[in-house]
């Protein structure tokens, strides 16, 4: 089987096509493809070399992460999972025995927009409208659905919280482009600083052999759609019970990367306000009300100096520069563990 180094080289040979595939909201500037980050937002902080000896090499200057073409797949398409990135890349390159392209976004992306184009992005607005339509199709109550069963299998009993977060819904059959069919899915609403809807996060689900529910057997069972940049999934209001915009002076806010991690913290510390930042690369782009005095970042136990750890520290530095107290909370179970692992370990 083709190894990671060779796959990265083959991806680099098709860097322009790969950049458009993973980041269709970006645009070409000379010999680079520019985007706002690995989440596909608008901006120029992420630059990908398209040609020459540096083809495929990229850096997100805002998030403090970068790497080769395979790393780009890992962060843009696979939520930092290298094994999933290898599978996706093999399929995209046609190297897998059952090669099946599994695009992160639409296969036929429009050409890059001119720099002078109006700030309104019709393509992005259409994606947000589609995400809102999916959200409208989903049922607001998770109780008794595969989504509730999936969370319970992760040790997260929503009944123990006393109420279900309104940011979560269940869709009985949501289309998955990778498999060309629908799956049950847990949806989470991504909202902007003012609480405006700007996209959804999808967790595709499938029943396992024991009759329980887990993630669907997809290369990317978790994906976002719409606009992620600067958005959060507001899962728990904490003791104050008021919207984020009405946060009280000096209030603390917990931000976790994933939904399961955030809900695990909510079970342990229901008095705290808890958000999911959707992706590591997005943490630094989150805008919080001035009243928020303390930011607690719930981090996965990634190796010091790794791209993920660098992205976390870049976010911490930004919040600290705003005059907030910043704390980083980690699971005591060791490398590659998170707060959900801690919850499940009792």
Radius of gyration of the chain (CA): 20
Residue 268 φ then ψ, to 5°: -80, -35
Residue spans of alpha helices (H) in 231-281:
259-268
DSSP 244: G
Task: Tell me what the pLDDT averaged over the chain comes to.
Answer: 86
pLDDT category at 115 given cuts 50, 70, 90 is very low
Domains of the chain: 4-119 (3.90.580), 129-344 (no CATH)
Of 270, 273, 272, 258, nearest to 162 by C-alpha is: 270
Structure tokens at 222: 């978790």
Residues 104 and 223: their CA atoms lie apart, in Å, by: 8
Question: Are the C-beta atoms of residues 60 and 66 closer than 8 Å to each other?
Answer: yes
Q: Is residue 337 pLDDT above 60, yes or no?
A: yes
pLDDT tens sequence across 22-69: 887 788 888 899 988 887 666 788 899 999 889 999 988 766 678 899
User: How many C-alpha atoms does 239 have within 13 Å on its Cβ side?
Assistant: 6
Q: Is residue 11 pLDDT above 80, yes or no?
A: yes
For the chain, give percent helix, strand, coil, nearest 5. Answer: 35, 25, 40
Angle ∠(314,317,318) on CA atoms, nearest 5: 90
pLDDT tens sequence across 270-319: 999 999 999 888 888 899 999 999 999 998 878 788 877 888 889 999 99
pTM score over 0.85: no
Q: Give percent above pLDDT 90 in the chain.
A: 49
């Amino acid at each position: 089987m083709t190894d990671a180094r060779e796959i990265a080289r083959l991806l680099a040979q098709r860097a322009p096509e790969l950049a458009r595939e993973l980041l269709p909201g970006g645009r070409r500037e000379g010999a680079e493809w520019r985007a706002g980050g690995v989440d596909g937002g608008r901006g120029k902080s992420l630059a990908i070399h398209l040609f020459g000896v540096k083809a495929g090499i990229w850096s997100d200057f805002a998030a403090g992460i970068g790497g080769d073409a395979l790393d780009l797949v890992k962060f843009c398409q696979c939520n930092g999972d290298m094994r999933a990135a290898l599978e996706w890349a093999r399929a995209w390159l046609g190297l897998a025995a059952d090669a099946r392209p599994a695009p992160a976004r639409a296969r036929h992306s429009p050409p890059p927009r001119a720099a002078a184009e109006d700030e309104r992005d019709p393509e992005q607005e259409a994606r947000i409208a589609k995400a809102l339509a999916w959200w409208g199709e989903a049922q607001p109550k998770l109780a008794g659905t595969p989504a509730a069963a999936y969370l319970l299998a992760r040790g997260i009993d929503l009944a123990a919280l006393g109420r279900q977060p309104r940011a979560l819904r269940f869709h009985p059959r949501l289309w998955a482009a990778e498999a060309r069919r629908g799956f049950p899915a847990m949806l989470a609403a991504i909202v902007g600083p003012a609480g405006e809807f700007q996209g959804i996060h999808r967790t595709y689900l499938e029943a396992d052999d024991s009759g329980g529910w887990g993630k669907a057997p997809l290369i990317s069972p978790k994906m976002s759609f719409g606009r992620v940049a600067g958005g959060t999934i507001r899962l728990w209001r904490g003791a104050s019970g008021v919207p984020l915009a009405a946060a009280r002076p000096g209030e603390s806010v917990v931000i976790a990367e994933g939904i399961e991690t955030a809900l695990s913290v909510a079970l342990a510390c229901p008095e705290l306000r808890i958000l999911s930042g959707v992706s590591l690369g997005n943490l630094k782009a989150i805008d919080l009300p001035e009243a928020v005095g303390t930011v607690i970042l719930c981090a996965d136990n990634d190796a010091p100096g790794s791209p993920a750890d660098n992205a976390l520290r870049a976010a911490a530095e930004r919040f600290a520069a705003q005059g907030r107290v910043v704390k980083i909370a980690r699971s005591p179970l060791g490398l590659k563990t998170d707060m959900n692992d801690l919850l499940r370990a009792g």
